[in-house]
Structure formats: structure tokens, C-alpha cells
């Protein structure tokens, strides 16, 4: 009788239900930005049928919105085995075994965090009589440097650098020209590795034509005096070294001139006025630039190239007449 009761209790204990929570963060293998449009599913390991799906969960408290995917089941029976399938358009589908053991249960629940799962982009190749053709890659990680191929982005004719930067994956262009790459603040904007208007991004963003750009690089810049202040054994940047965005011009634009002028009007005032002029002469050894701008329509920044309208955030409150001019030169 005692043995029967013990056996019955064991069966009841083994059938107890547990609160199960599984989280995962699918990210781009290169940029490590979360794939918010991913689909994460639980599959039966026996026949690979779909059991359930994860839902997207916004992480509260971060300066930059972040998301994870979560699966919750308050009727889970341990032990349990699943296959986690992660799919996202343009990326290779990934599969992971998920085994939950009774020993993981604490206070009636099991919490499993699978962490970041890096999904590689699909590389399309076409074979025809032993001839291989591959699509160009938008971005690639070279050591500590994230390199964007500017020629891969479709822009309207007449677009300036700011329109290109807005399209770069993982890059955010905020008010006043503030730029972040995967959450890292960009302290200065360089052109061919050299300062452009003392690193002020606004001048380059609004005046440098996008068609001149070959590549855009994001990396941490080691101080020029690092060879003095740091040991010879220290390789690469430190965690607190500033991030920069380095714009590389196409080879045919290594020498020459570029100029643009702009007039604009506003529907918000009866006497609108905006004028802007920019000129740049550059060689592989020197760079000279001049610019001037003025307006009385309470605006800053630049118009959208596809519509000709000014961005909403550029309209400031109250009377705001602006006149500004500047010059920059660099000789190597």
C-alpha cells in the first residue's frame, strides 16, 4: 500500500504544471541591430510541426527602443523539448534545440534567456556555365570598422549626404545633425579621414552631394597622440575612444570643384526667405570650402530631396532670423 501511494505521488509530481518563459534577441550578424520583423516559432522536434510562436516585447527604460521576442506558457510540463526556428526576410533561417529540464525550475517557474542570435544575410549567387555572379553587399565588418557601400542605396537625384546617412542600417540622424550608429554617438564627421569644418556634421550633411560618396565608415578613432600616451602593446581602440563617421569620396572626385546654391520659400509666412551657397575645391593634398546661409522663416536643416518640403522638426517657434557663414581649409 505504501509503495502504491508513493508511486501515485510521483506520477502527480511529474505532471505538475510550470510557468515557462523563453526570450531571444535575433540580430543582424554584422550590425547587431535587432530584427524587429523576425518570426520566431516553436517546433515539435518529432515532426517539425509548429507548436506556438513568440511575441515581440519592447524593452522599457533604454534611451533607444529595444525589442526582444518572448514565449510564455503557464501550463508547461517538464521536461520538455522544442526546436526554435527564427526567420526574417533577407536572412538565413536558423534553428536551435531548446531542452528544458526540471532542475531549472525555481519557485514554480522556469526563465530561459537564449540571448542574442546572429542571423547572416542571404548571399545570392547565380551559376551559369561555371560563371559566378554575386550581389554587392550593403555593409561589411572589417576588423573594428563598419563599412557601408554608398552605391547600394537608391537616392533621389540631387540628394545630399544627409539623405544617404538616413538610409544606412543601424544609423540614426536626429535633430541638429546628431548621428548615432547602433546606439553609439558619432562625435565628428570626417571626409577621406580628414576633418571637415572641424568635424561639424551639419555642413557636410547638408552640402556634400551623395553621388560623390563611395563608402561610409563607422569606427572608434584612436587619439593622434596615442603613440605617446599608450603602451606599444595596446592594440586597437579603447572602449571610451570616440566614434566617428568617415566619408570616402569616389576616385573621380578626388580632385575638382563642387558648388550648390539653394533658394526656398515657406507657406507658413507671407514674406519667406531662405538662401544658401556652398563651394568646395579639393585635391588629394588640400581642401578649401566656403558656405553662407540665411533665412527668416524660422527654419534650420535642409529640405527633403524627394518632395522639396522642409522637415517638420526644422520649424522653430517664435521669431528667428538666421544668418551664418563659414570657411574651412586644409593643406597637407
With a CB cutoff of 8 Å and minimum separation 6, the contacts of 4 are none
d(CA 127, CA 60): 47
| CATH class of this structure's domain 137-253 | mainly beta
Mean pLDDT for 259-276 is 63
Given this model, what pLDDT does residue 61 score?
Answer: 59
Per domain, the residue ranges of the chain are: 15-119, 137-253, 256-331
d(CA 328, CA 319): 30
Q: For 102-115, write each residue's pLDDT tens digit.
A: 888 988 899 999 98
| 79 preceded by a cis bond (ω within 30 of 0) | yes
Q: For 195-232, write each residue's pLDDT tens digit.
A: 776 667 887 888 788 898 999 999 998 887 776 777 77
d(CA 48, CA 29): 25
Please give the backbone phi and psi of residue 232, each rounded to the nearest 5 degrees, phi first. Answer: -70, -20
d(CA 186, CA 192): 16
pTM: 0.49
Mean pLDDT for 68-87 is 90
Band (5; pLDDT cuts 50, 70, 90): very low
Closest to 301 measured CA to CA, from 274, 279, 319, 281: 274
Q: For 48-73, write each residue's pLDDT tens digit.
A: 889 999 998 887 655 556 778 899 99
CB 205 within 8 A of CB 177: yes
Cα dist from 311 to 109, 170, 256, 259, 285, whole Å:
49, 21, 31, 23, 36
Closest to 199 measured CA to CA, from 184, 178, 216, 182: 178
Mean pLDDT for 90-100 is 90
CA dihedral 192, 196, 199, 205 (to 10 degrees): -90
Q: What is the mean pLDDT of the chain?
A: 76
15-119 has which CATH code? 2.60.40.10
With a CB cutoff of 8 Å and minimum separation 6, the contacts of 53 are 39, 40, 41, 42, 71
Amino acid at each position: 500500500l505504501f509503495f502504491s501511494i508513493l508511486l501515485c505521488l510521483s506520477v502527480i509530481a511529474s505532471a505538475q504544471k510550470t510557468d515557462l518563459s523563453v526570450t531571444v534577441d535575433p540580430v543582424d550578424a554584422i550590425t547587431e541591430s535587432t530584427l524587429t520583423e523576425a518570426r520566431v516559432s516553436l517546433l515539435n522536434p518529432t515532426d517539425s510541426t509548429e507548436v506556438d510562436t513568440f511575441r515581440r516585447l519592447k524593452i522599457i527604460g533604454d534611451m533607444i527602443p529595444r525589442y526582444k521576442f518572448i514565449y510564455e506558457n503557464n501550463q508547461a510540463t517538464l521536461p520538455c523539448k522544442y526546436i526554435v526556428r527564427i526567420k526574417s526576410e533577407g536572412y538565413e533561417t536558423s534553428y536551435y534545440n531548446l531542452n528544458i529540464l526540471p532542475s531549472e525550475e525555481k519557485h514554480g517557474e522556469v526563465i530561459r534567456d537564449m540571448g542574442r542570435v546572429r542571423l547572416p544575410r542571404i548571399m545570392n549567387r547565380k551559376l551559369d556555365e561555371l560563371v559566378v555572379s554575386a550581389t554587392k553587399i550593403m555593409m561589411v565588418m572589417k576588423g573594428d570598422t563598419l563599412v557601408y557601400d554608398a552605391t547600394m542605396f537608391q537616392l533621389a537625384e540631387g540628394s545630399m549626404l544627409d539623405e544617404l546617412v538616413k538610409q544606412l542600417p543601424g544609423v540614426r540622424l536626429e535633430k541638429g545633425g546628431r548621428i548615432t550608429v547602433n546606439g553609439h554617438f558619432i562625435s565628428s564627421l570626417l571626409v577621406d579621414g580628414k576633418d571637415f569644418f572641424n568635424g561639424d556634421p551639419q555642413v557636410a550633411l547638408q552640402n556634400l552631394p551623395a553621388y560623390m560618396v563611395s563608402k561610409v565608415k563607422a569606427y572608434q578613432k584612436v587619439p593622434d597622440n596615442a603613440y605617446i600616451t599608450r603602451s606599444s602593446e595596446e592594440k586597437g581602440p579603447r572602449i571610451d575612444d570616440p566614434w566617428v563617421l568617415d566619408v570616402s569620396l569616389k576616385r573621380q572626385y578626388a580632385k575638382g570643384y563642387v558648388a550648390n546654391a539653394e533658394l526656398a520659400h515657406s507657406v507658413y509666412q507671407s514674406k519667406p526667405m531662405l538662401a544658401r551657397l556652398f563651394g568646395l575645391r579639393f585635391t588629394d593634398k588640400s581642401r578649401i570650402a566656403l558656405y553662407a546661409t540665411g533665412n527668416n522663416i524660422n527654419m534650420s536643416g535642409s529640405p527633403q530631396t524627394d518632395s522639396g518640403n522642409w522637415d517638420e522638426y526644422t520649424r522653430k517657434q517664435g521669431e528667428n532670423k538666421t544668418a551664418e557663414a563659414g570657411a574651412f581649409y586644409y593643406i597637407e
